[in-house]
Amino acid sequence: MPRQLISSGSTFEQEIGYSRAVVDGDWIFVSGTTGFDYSKMTISDDVVEQAEQCFKNIQAALNKAGASMRDIVRVTYVLPDATDFPKCWPTLRKYLGEVRPAAMMISAGLSDPRMRIEIQVTARRGPGA
C-alpha cells in the first residue's frame, strides 16, 4: 500500500514542507498540531481554546485517513508554559479519556509565540477500518 499524505490546507505545510498526517499501512502519524483554525489562519489567545482546536484539527486529519480518535495509541503534548497543562486536562479527557493512549508532556518553546500548545498523535487503524 503506498504512503498517503494528508494536508489540512494550512499554509505552514507548504511553507515548511511537511504533511498534517502520513498514512503508512494501518499506521497514521499526525504532525504536531497547534490551535490554529486553518480555514481562517487564526488562533485564540486562550490555551484551552487552542487545545480544543488542536483536537478538531487532529480529528479532521484522522477522518481523512479513515480513522478516528479511538485509534490513537500515543499522544505528545508540548507547552511552552508547563503551568498551562492542568488547565487543558478537561479538554484532553473530553477527547481521549476513554481512549487512554500512552502520553507524554514536554515543556518547550514553539515556533510562534501565539502557540500555547501543540499536540502530536500516532494512531493505528483497527481491523475493518
85-109 mean pLDDT: 98
Instruction: Indicate whether 129 belongs to any domain.
Output: no
pLDDT at 120: 98
Dump pLDDT digits (tens) for 53-86.
999 999 999 999 999 999 999 999 999 999 999 9
DSSP letter string, 64-112: HTT--GGGEEEEEEEESSGGGHHHHHHHHHHHHTTT--EEEEEE---SS
27: domain CATH number is 3.30.1330.40
Is 37 domain-assigned?
yes
What is the total count of domains within the chain? 1
> Does residue 128 register a pLDDT over 60?
no
Domain residues for the domain of 44 are 4-124
**pLDDT single digits (tens) 12-62:** 788 888 999 999 999 999 999 999 998 888 999 999 999 999 999 999 999
